[in-house]
């Protein structure tokens, strides 16, 4: 038995050694394979993958969407800023509109105050004249009484003095009573005239007192100076200003003074002075319309001054001035249907309105329910009417007729009117500008 065990021990040791070696080999193989896969996997993870052809369009689409989102956000911010600016502009426009209304009310109040001052000055003059008459009658009564006293004092005896003094006193009192009665009657008549003056318009009181010959002579001189040189226009303006205190409430005087303000405005080179002259001219023509609303020249120059005032104004004020211009020109044409200048001015308005841009039309729609509207055909109709009433009316009118035909596509007719316009003389600044436009249009159409 012991022999068997001794024989088996070396075999058992050999088997155990072979098993241990086999186990170690298997563990080594397993470890080696696991480590290799891990290392290869880690290498694969560390190396960046190149984008395939399929992934590139997706990346491009993502980039495009991101750019679109950024652009949309930027546009949204710009739109919000624009809306905020528009709100501020509209608020400013509302405030300006309120200020214009207040200014107009102040001007109306000033006009009423001027009329009241003139009325009070007339009343004071009439009261002063009545006081002079009363003083004359009192002086006359006192002189009669003193003469009677002197006559009684020249007698010799006391009794005769008393008698004649008594008689003289009675005579003096009788004469002074008569004079006082006459003065009272005249005072009553003066009071009645004063009441009549207060009930009548101020212009009527001037008509009753002024010298019509001197007024007509003054207005004739003013018209001639208006058609003269710049120095003549200045002289006419000063002449009218000197006589304003006398004839300032006559409508035919007021529109001539307003016209003179317009002439001086064109001669001035300072913008502040120009605006001041325009405002004073409008005040004068408004005073003329208050005295006589049926005076066509007052309506005409109100329209002209309003149009000149709108040349350097905002869009809203220009549109408002356009409404005022159109209303007064229509009224002037109704009162003076054969005045060629009125149709020329109306044609200018129609042409300018027909040339309004999209922004100005939208602004007009914003501020007014019914914006002004006109066409080239309407402008042409008015220009031709002015030419019909006064052939060869002006170079400017003929050039505008050519413009209308050019805009309507009648180039041959436009060239014909340009030739007619070239033969007319230059008589105003408008004709000077028309000559420049005439030369440009001839170059374009020829």
The 3-state secondary structure of the chain, one letter per residue: CHHHHHHHHHHHHHHHHHHHHHHHHHHHHHHHHHHHHHHHHHHHHHCCCCCCCCHHHHHHHHHHHHHHHHHHHHHHHHHHHHHHHHHHHHHHHHHHHHHHHHHHHHHHHHHHHHHHHHHHHHHHHHHHHHHHHHHHHHHHHHHHHHHHHHHHHCCCCHHHHHHHHHHHHHHHHHHHHHHHHHHHHHHHHHHHHHHHHHHCCHHHHHHHHCCHHHHHHHHHHHHHHHCCCHHHHHHHHHHHHHCHHHHCCCHHHHHHHHHHHHHHHHHCCCHHHHHHHHHHHHHHHHHHHHHCCCCHHHHHHHHHHHHHHHHHCCHHHHHHHHHHHHHHHHHHHHHCCCCHHHHHHHHHHHHHHHCCCHHHHHHHHHHCCCCCCCCHHHHHHHHHHHHHHCCCCCHHHHHHHHHHHHHCCCHHHHHHHHHHHHCCCCCCHHHHHHHHHHHHHHHHHC
219 plus 327 within the same structural domain = yes
**Domain boundary pick from 199, 218, 239:** 199
183 plus 236 within the same structural domain = no
139 plus 82 within the same structural domain = yes
Give, as one character, the DSSP assignment of residue 243.
T
Residue 4 lies in a domain: no
Domain of residue 158: give its range. Answer: 71-199
**Higher confidence at residue 140 or residue 283?**
283
Indicate whether 189 pLDDT > 60. Answer: no
Helices 271-291 and 251-267 sit at what angle, rounded to 10 degrees? Answer: 170
Q: What angle do CA 293, 298, 302 make, to 5 degrees?
A: 110
Which of 38-47, 86-95, 202-211 bottoms out in mean pLDDT, i.e. has the lowest?
A: 38-47
Residue 437 lies in a domain: yes
CATH of the domain at 293: 1.25.40.10
Instruction: Specify the pLDDT at position 235.
Output: 94
Instruction: Specify the pLDDT at position 98.
Output: 78
219 plus 187 within the same structural domain = no
Q: Give me the mean pLDDT over the 180-202 stretch.
A: 48
Total domain count, the chain:
3
Residue 438 lies in a domain: yes
Q: Give me the mean pLDDT over the 182-210 stretch.
A: 48
**Higher confidence at residue 274 or residue 142?**
274
Q: Give me the mean pLDDT over the 225-231 stretch.
A: 91
**Spatial separation of the C-alpha atoms in residues 27 and 21, rounded to whole Å:** 10
Residue 351 lies in a domain: no
**Spatial separation of the C-alpha atoms in residues 442 and 414, rounded to whole Å:** 9
pLDDT digits (tens, 9 = 90+) for 361-388: 776 666 666 677 889 999 999 999 999 9
313 plus 227 within the same structural domain = yes
179 plus 297 within the same structural domain = no
CATH of the domain at 400: 1.25.40
Residue 101 lies in a domain: yes
387 plus 444 within the same structural domain = yes
**Domain boundary pick from 337, 366, 390:** 337
179 plus 229 within the same structural domain = no
Instruction: Specify the pLDDT at position 400.
Output: 96
**Spatial separation of the C-alpha atoms in residues 429 and 261, rounded to whole Å:** 16
**Spatial separation of the C-alpha atoms in residues 399 and 434, rounded to whole Å:** 6
Residue 40 lies in a domain: no
**Domain boundary pick from 179, 199, 219:** 199
Indicate whether 150 pLDDT > 90. Answer: no
Which of 54-58, 316-320, 383-387, 418-422 bottoms out in mean pLDDT, i.e. has the lowest?
A: 54-58
Which two tokens mark 211? 């010298």
Pinpoint the alpha helices (H) of 310-375. Answer: 315-335, 340-354, 358-367
């Amino acid at each position: 038995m012991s022999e068997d065990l001794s024989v088996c021990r070396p075999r058992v040791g050999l088997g155990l050694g072979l098993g241990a070696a086999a186990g170690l080999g298997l563990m080594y193989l397993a470890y080696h394979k696991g480590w290799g896969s891990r290392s290869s996997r880690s290498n694969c993870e560390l190396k960046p993958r190149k984008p395939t052809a399929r992934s590139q369009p997706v990346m491009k689409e993502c980039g495009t969407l991101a750019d679109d989102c950024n652009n949309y956000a930027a546009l949204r911010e710009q739109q919000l800023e624009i809306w905020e600016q528009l709100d501020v502009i509209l608020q400013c426009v509302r405030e300006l509109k309120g200020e214009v209304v207040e200014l107009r009310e102040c001007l109306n109040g000033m006009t009423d105050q001027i009329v009241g001052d003139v009325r009070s000055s007339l009343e004071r003059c009439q009261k002063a004249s009545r006081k002079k008459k009363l003083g004359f009658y009192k002086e006359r009564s006192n002189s009669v009484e003193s003469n009677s006293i002197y006559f009684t004092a020249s007698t010799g005896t006391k009794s005769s003095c008393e008698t004649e003094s008594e008689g003289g006193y009675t005579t003096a009192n009788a004469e002074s009573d008569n004079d006082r009665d006459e003065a009272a009657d005249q005072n009553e008549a003066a009071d009645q005239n004063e009441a009549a003056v207060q009930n009548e318009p101020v212009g009527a009181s001037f008509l009753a007192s002024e010298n019509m010959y001197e007024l007509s002579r003054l207005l004739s001189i003013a018209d001639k100076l208006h058609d003269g040189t710049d120095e003549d226009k200045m002289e006419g303006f000063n002449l009218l200003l000197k006589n304003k205190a006398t004839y300032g409430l006559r409508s035919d005087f007021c529109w001539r003074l307003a016209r003179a303000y317009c002439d001086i405005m064109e001669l001035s080179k300072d913008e502040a002075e120009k605006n001041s002259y325009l405002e004073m001219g409008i005040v004068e023509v408004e005073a003329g319309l208050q005295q006589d609303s049926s005076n066509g020249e007052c309506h005409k120059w109100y329209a002209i001054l309003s149009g000149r005032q709108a040349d350097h104004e905002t869009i809203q004020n220009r549109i408002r001035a356009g409404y005022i211009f159109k209303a007064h020109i229509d009224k002037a044409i109704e009162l003076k249907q054969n005045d060629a200048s009125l149709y020329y001015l109306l044609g200018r308005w129609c042409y300018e309105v027909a040339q309004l841009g999209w922004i100005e039309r939208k602004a007009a729609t914003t501020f007014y329910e019914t914006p002004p509207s006109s066409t080239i055909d309407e402008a042409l109709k008015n220009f031709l009417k002015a030419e019909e009433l006064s052939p060869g009316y002006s170079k400017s009118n003929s050039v505008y007729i050519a413009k209308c035909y050019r805009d309507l596509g009648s180039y041959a007719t436009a060239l014909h009117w340009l030739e007619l316009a070239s033969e007319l003389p230059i008589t105003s600044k408008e004709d000077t500008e028309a000559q420049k436009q005439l030369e440009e249009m001839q170059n374009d159409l020829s």
